[in-house]
Amino acid sequence: MNKEKLKILNRDMMKYLAIGLMFAGHLVSWPKLIAHPDDTLAASRLPLWMLIIEEAALFCPPVMFFFIADGYKYSRDRKKYALRLLVLACVTQLFDWFVFLERYGWRSFNVIFTLLFGLLSIMAWESKLRCWQRTALVILCVAATILLFTDWLLFGVLFILALHIFRDRPKIRFIVYMSLTLMHNTINLLALKGNVPPLTTALSFLGGIIAMTAAYLCMTVFYNGKKGKHPVFAKWFFYAFYPVHYIIIYLFSKI
Q: How many CB atoms lie within 10 A of CB 121?
A: 27
Tell me how far apart the alpha carbons of residues 123 and 85 are, in angstroms, rounded to a whole number. Answer: 14
| Radius of gyration, CA atoms only, the chain | 18
Cα separation, 246 vs 41, whole angstroms: 20
What's the Cα-to-Cα distance from 255 to each of 8, 31, 78, 125, 141, rounded to whole Å? Answer: 39, 10, 42, 47, 40
pLDDT digits (tens, 9 = 90+) for 198-210: 878 888 899 999 9
pLDDT of residue 194: 65
- 185 pLDDT more than 80: yes
Q: CA-CA distance, 30 to 35, in Å (whole number)? A: 8
Higher-confidence residue: 192 or 123? 123
Provide the number of structural domains found in the chain: 1
DSSP-assigned states of every residue in 202-234: HHHHHHHHHHHHHHHHIIIIIB-S---S-HHHH
Stretch 223-251: mean pLDDT: 93
Higher pLDDT, 230 or 57: 57
Of 120, 163, 110, the residue nearest 140 (C-alpha) = 120
Q: Print the domain residue range for 171.
A: 3-253
pLDDT interval class at 190 (50, 70, 90):
confident
The model's confidence at residue 196, banded by pLDDT at 50, 70 and 90, is confident
| Residue 58 to residue 205: CA distance in whole angstroms | 11
pLDDT digits (tens, 9 = 90+) for 208-229: 999 999 999 999 999 999 988 8
For the packed helices 170-192 and 153-165, what is the interaxial angle rounded to 10 degrees? Answer: 170
**1: confidence class by pLDDT, cuts 50, 70, 90:** low
DSSP state of 2: -
pLDDT at 164: 97
Tell me what the pLDDT averaged over the chain comes to.
93
pTM of this structure: 0.94
What is the predicted pLDDT for the residue at 191?
81
- Report the length, in residues, of the chain: 255
